[in-house]
């Protein structure tokens, strides 16, 4: 704090990098290719949000068009009221209907590696069959629209299939990271009143089996709510079995039809719950709804990663689907853009510390999105690991999850990107649903350690405790002053906590709870 009670800015970084001149040609053309175009789009999005977001929503399929783009403001905003859609339809069926059913949707690679990695390529047709069969299996076991389904799995294709199947029938999913304990499972099941859990016998992590089914069994001792457990056979490890409650994934799917109509979902119907870690108390079940979240993740994926079909792009986000990054930027934002999305099951250093770079080279990855913690680990392991591989397919690099220090940012740019890949350093939260502060790769000058500019439609500011903006080169509290389509809609079952956490401290604004600074550097006002 300074003498005026403001948070001091800790970023002192003078280097500014313009978008690499070769990026536009290498990526198949940037959607936003100049700073002036970003300014134009941003200005329109703030001055005419209904027109801006309505145009984006028109790029997707709706069973019934909305009456209003935005209704009300914080905290009870509603987007695309009166509209009916289904996000699974827009992820899969829309692509098939447009003649792209044979295109690759998901590329999956398992961790075990005996010289030849285990790889599965799922087309949109493949995904449609698997999602429909599992959706029908859920319905056959009594799951209906509005029922919360808990998912606790490793990073296998069936994890994506399960989430999409839930979305298809209107059953909100609650995905739990596979590293969480039985107590965490029980707590989330109890809070969501969920009776169905989807899991695996185990998952692979550095050639060791994570006992997922055993953790679910232990959770059933802590809560009486779990009535059905569907188990994917992955590791073939020994597990216990309770007849009547436990069912093999293969068996419940084999008996099902390969078609399942999409449930028409009101735009404000709940799509999923995702619980925060609970580091400051009981985990919060963050509610995201269908229409606004769909529109927002679609556009942020498209513009931030410059996703373009039919130009040989392969996109890889290394996050686990148990986190919001995996929800938004492996599944729901990427599939509607029709660029293959990679899922990798295991650790970045198995069997060796070059596993990620081996994957990049073999699959010819073009967009790579990972966490600063991973980047710092790569640095520690040594330059020789990425230098063993041809990384020339890479066109764009991204970071997510925490601030990145300038040293790691520069290493990432030089060693992984060969000084030719723009870095999109993205800031956002489980609560925001999608990226909020981020460069646009063809337009935004970047500074090591800074997430730079608000995405179009995001009215961000750094303020004092009284809500007034701080001066340049001063730290403060990061707030969002206007709703965006993926705004969280609540904390499940706890209205008071929702209001107290996000909207009580500074009147009329969403409080991110993140210290930030606002500094003027050439064309860039840097939020960190």
- Successive 10-residue mean pLDDT values, the chain, 528 residues: 41 84 89 97 98 98 98 96 98 98 98 92 98 98 98 98 98 97 97 98 95 98 98 98 98 96 98 82 93 98 98 97 98 98 97 97 98 98 98 98 96 97 97 98 96 96 91 88 97 96 93 76 44
* pLDDT value for 517: 74
Q: How far is the first Cα of the chain from the last one, in angstroms, to the nearest whole number?
A: 16
Phi/psi for 87 (5° steps) reads -70, -30
What is the reported pLDDT for 400? 97
Q: Which of 88, 87, 70, 67 is nearest to 79 (CA)?
A: 70
Kindly tell me the number of DSSP H helices and DSSP E strands found in the chain. 17, 25
Name 427's bridge partners. Answer: 437
CA distances from 335 to 61, 123, 287, 330 (A): 14, 11, 22, 8
In this structure, what is the dihedral angle of CA atoms 54, 56, 59, 65, given to the nearest 10 degrees?
-20
Q: How many CB atoms lie within 10 A of CB 72?
A: 12
Gap between the Cα atoms of 3 and 234, Å rounded: 58
Tell me the C-alpha distance between 492 and 107, whole Å: 33
Phi, psi of 243 (to 5 degrees): -60, 140
Contacts of 380 (CB under 8 A, 6+ apart): none
Among the listed residues 444, 411, 439, the one whose alpha carbon sits nearest the alpha carbon of residue 18:
444
Distance CA 394, CA 408 (A): 18
C-alpha–C-alpha distance, residues 196 and 225, integer Å:
8
The two structure tokens encoding residue 303: 């513009």
Contact assessment for residue 425 and residue 447, using Cβ atoms and an 8 Å cutoff:
no
pLDDT at 55: 98
Q: What gap in Å lies between CA 133 and CA 383, rounded to an integer?
A: 45
User: Rounded to an integer, what is the distance from CA 208 to the centroid of its chain?
Assistant: 26
Which residue(s) pair with 265 in the sheet?
85
Q: Which residues contact 436 (CB under 8 A, 6 or more apart)?
A: 427, 428, 429, 454, 455, 458, 460, 480, 484
pTM (2 d.p.)? 0.95
- What span, in angstroms and rounded, lies between the C-alpha atoms of 212 and 89? 30
152, 153, 155: which is closest to 109 by C-alpha? 155
- In 82-108, which positions are buried (b, 16+ CB within 10 angstroms) versus exposed (e)? ebbbbbbbbbbbbbbeeebbebbbbbb
> What's the pLDDT at 34?
95
> What does the alpha-carbon distance between residue 151 and residue 165 come to, in Å, rounded to a whole number?
12
What does the alpha-carbon distance between residue 486 and residue 433 come to, in Å, rounded to a whole number?
5
Q: Where are the beta strands (DSSP E) in 216-366?
A: 228-232, 246-248, 265-266, 270-275, 285-289, 315-317, 341-344
Q: Inter-axis angle of helices 49-57 and 290-304, to 10 degrees?
A: 90
The continuous run of DSSP H or E covering 216 comes out as helix 212-220
SS3 call for 450: coil
Name the helix (H) or strand (E) containing 111: strand 104-113
């Amino acid at each position: 704090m300074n003498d005026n009670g403001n948070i001091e800015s800790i970023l002192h970084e003078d280097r500014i990098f313009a978008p690499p001149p070769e990026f536009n040609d290498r990526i198949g053309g940037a959607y936003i290719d100049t700073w002036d175009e970003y300014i134009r789009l941003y200005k329109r999005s703030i001055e005419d949000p209904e027109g801006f977001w309505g145009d984006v929503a028109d790029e997707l399929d709706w069973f019934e068009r909305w009456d209003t783009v935005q209704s009300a403001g914080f905290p009870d905003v509603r987007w695309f009221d009166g509209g009916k859609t289904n996000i699974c339809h827009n992820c899969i069926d829309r692509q098939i209907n447009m003649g792209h059913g044979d295109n690759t949707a998901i590329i999956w690679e398992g961790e075990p590696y005996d010289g030849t990695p285990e790889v599965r390529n799922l087309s949109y047709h493949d995904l449609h069959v698997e999602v429909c069969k599992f959706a029908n299996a859920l319905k056959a076991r009594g799951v209906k629209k509005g029922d919360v389904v808990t998912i606790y799995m490793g990073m296998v294709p069936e994890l994506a299939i399960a989430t999409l199947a839930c979305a298809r029938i209107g059953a909100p999913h609650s995905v739990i990271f596979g590293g969480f304990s039985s107590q965490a499972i029980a707590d989330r099941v109890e809070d969501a009143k969920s009776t169905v859990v989807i899991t695996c016998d185990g998952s692979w992590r550095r050639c060791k089996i994570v006992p997922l089914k055993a953790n679910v069994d232990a959770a059933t001792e802590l809560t009486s709510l779990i009535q059905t457990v569907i188990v994917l056979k992955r590791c073939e490890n020994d597990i216990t079995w309770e007849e009547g409650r436990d069912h093999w994934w293969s068996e419940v799917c084999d008996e099902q039809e390969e078609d399942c109509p999409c449930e028409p979902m009101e735009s404000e119907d709940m799509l999923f719950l995702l619980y925060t870690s609970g580091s400051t108390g009981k985990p919060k079940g963050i509610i995201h709804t269908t229409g606004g979240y769909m529109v927002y993740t679609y556009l942020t994926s498209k513009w931030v990663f410059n996703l373009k079909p039919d130009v040989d792009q392969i996109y890889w986000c290394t996050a686990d689907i148990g986190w919001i990054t995996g929800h938004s930027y492996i599944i729901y934002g990427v599939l509607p853009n029709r660029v293959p999305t990679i899922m990798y099951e295991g650790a970045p250093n198995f069997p060796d510390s070059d596993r990620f770079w081996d994957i990049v080279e073999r699959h010819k990855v073009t967009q790579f999105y990972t966490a600063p913690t991973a980047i710092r680990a790569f640095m520690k392991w040594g330059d020789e690991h990425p230098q063993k591989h041809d990384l020339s397919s890479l066109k764009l690099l991204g970071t997510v999850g925490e601030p990145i220090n300038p040293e790691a940012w520069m290493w990432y740019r030089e060693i992984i990107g060969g000084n030719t890949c723009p870095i999109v350093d993205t800031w956002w939260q489980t609560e925001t649903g999608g990226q909020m502060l981020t460069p646009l790769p063809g337009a935004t000058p970047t500074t090591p350690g800074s997430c730079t500019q608000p995405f179009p439609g995001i009215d961000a500011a750094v303020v004092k405790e009284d809500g007034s903006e701080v001066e340049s080169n001063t730290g403060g509290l990061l707030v969002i002053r206007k709703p965006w389509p993926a705004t969280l809609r609540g904390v499940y079952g706890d209205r008071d906590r929702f209001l107290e956490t996000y909207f009580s401290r500074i009147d009329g604004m969403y409080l991110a709870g993140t210290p930030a600074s606002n500094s003027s550097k050439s064309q860039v006002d840097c939020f960190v």
